[in-house]
Every structure is written in C-alpha cells, then in structure tokens.
C-alpha cells in the first residue's frame, strides 16, 4: 500500500460507533486465492484494439475488488496447479468492485467510468437501508478494525477475469474475510443474480 493510499484510508475512516459489525478479517490469509479475498488497486485490461501497427490497450484500475468464487472450486483449482487438464479447473475468477463507502456517498466512486451520482448522507433513508444490507444490489462492510474503512460491494457490476491476472497481483490482497462473513456475501450475491426481473412498462 502506498503512502497516498494510507493517507486516503485514514481520512475515510469516519464510521459511527453504533454501527453493527458486518465484516471481520480472517486471522490469516491462505497462500492461494480464497472466497471473500479483497484486493486493492487491481488493474484489469478491458479491451485491446489493433489498427495496422498501432495497438491500443484500455485498462481499468479498481480501488478494491472481492473474489466471489466458491471456496471448494478455488481450492481444487489451486491444488491442480494447472497440471491437470480437466474441466474442474477454473478459467476465470468472478469478482465484484468494492468501494470506500465515503466515496460512494460522495457519488464519485466510479471515477471517470460513469457519471458522478448525487451526493448522499448516511442519515438518508436509502443509505440507511444499504448500511443495514436491505438492498440486494449492495453489500455494506463494517469492520471492527480501526485501520479499515467502511466498504461497499456493488453486485450489479460483477465480472470475471483470467485467473492469472489475480494471481499475478496476489500481493495486493488487502484482507481475507472470516468464513461466516464471506458465506453471507456469497448468499446475498446468489440472491441478487437469481432475482426475477419484471418489465416496468407493459409491452
């Protein structure tokens, strides 16, 4: 973590003491990638275009991402270590973007990828529901650790990346979540993507 990020995190740790704990770090991280691992400053190649001799590479840098794959699949893939050529191995890792909650409230959390949202306050009704994890799209993380800011997962924008991309940046693992809390995230993510969408307007 750079000095700039350390300062940024210190400035963003402004959580009310009354908030209930909704996340806890595992006592230690595994050598392999695990479900509920949160990574910081992950750079993803979004697109590559070639025009004659000019190659253009578009990248996105995420402040945080979280691994959503099932623990059993990640463990099997790790022990196979690419030596077993079978469909039990993983091709890609499912991840979702994670943001510092104060940035989410300011509406600037997506940087230049999307337009800024309207600024909101913790006391707003919708934000209270997000903090209480009553809105399926988001999962709010409040740690008891004083050095970790409140974070928010946005399930709507989950995507997958080639697993080597994550393993090559495994030293950027910010923390691993304890079993109880990572299972909760998995349940809520499953609920979100399994919802039945109804049309807003009749055809």
Q: Which pLDDT belongs to residue 16?
A: 47
Q: Which of 15-24, 64-73, 185-194 has the lowest mean pLDDT?
A: 15-24
Given a cut of 60, is residue 9 above it in pLDDT? no
- Three-state SS at 75: helix
> What's residue 52's pLDDT?
85
Region 170-186: mean pLDDT is 90
pLDDT at 18: 46
Tokens of 112: 């230049």
Higher-pLDDT residue of 1 and 126 is 126
Per-residue model confidence as pLDDT tens digits over 116-155: 778 889 999 999 999 999 999 999 999 888 788 999 999 9
Alpha carbon distance 105, 60 (integer Å): 21
Residue 157: predicted pLDDT: 92
Higher-pLDDT residue of 39, 21:
39
Please check whether residue 38 is in contact with residue 173, taking contact to mean a CB–CB distance below 8 angstroms.
yes
Q: Are the C-beta atoms of 29 and 173 separated by less than 8 Å?
A: yes
Q: What is the pTM of this model?
A: 0.81
> Higher-confidence residue: 17 or 133?
133
Residue owning tokens 């009749």: 202
Return the pLDDT at 22.
62
pLDDT band at residue 15, thresholds of 50, 70 and 90?
A: very low
Confidence of residue 13 (pLDDT cuts 50, 70, 90): very low
Q: How much of the chain, in percent, has pLDDT values that exceed 90?
A: 40
- Give 95-110 pLDDT, tens digit per residue: 999 999 999 999 888 8
The confidence score (pLDDT) of residue 19 equals 53
Burial of 134 (0-12, 13-18, 19+ CB in 10 A): exposed
Tokens of 111: 């940087």
Across the chain, mean pLDDT equals 83
């Amino acid at each position: 973590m750079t000095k700039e990020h350390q300062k940024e995190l210190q400035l963003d740790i402004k959580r009310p003491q009354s908030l209930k704990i909704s996340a806890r770090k595992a006592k230690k991280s595994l050598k392999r990638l695990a479900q509920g691992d949160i990574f910081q400053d992950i750079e993803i190649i979004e697109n590559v275009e070639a025009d004659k001799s000019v190659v253009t590479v578009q990248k996105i840098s995420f402040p945080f991402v979280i691994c959503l794959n099932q623990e059993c699949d990640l463990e099997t893939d790790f022990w196979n270590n690419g030596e077993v050529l079978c469909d039990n191995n993983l091709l890609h890792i499912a991840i979702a973007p994670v943001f510092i909650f104060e940035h989410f409230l300011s509406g600037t959390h997506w940087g230049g990828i999307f337009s800024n949202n309207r600024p909101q306050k913790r006391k707003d009704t919708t934000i209270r529901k997000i903090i209480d994890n009553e809105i399926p799209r988001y999962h709010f993380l409040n740690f008891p650790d004083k050095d970790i800011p409140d974070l928010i997962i946005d399930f709507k924008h989950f995507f997958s990346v080639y697993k080597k991309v994550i393993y090559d940046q495994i030293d950027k693992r910010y923390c691993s979540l304890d079993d109880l809390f990572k299972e909760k995230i998995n349940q809520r993510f499953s609920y979100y993507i399994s919802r039945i969408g109804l049309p807003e307007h009749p055809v």
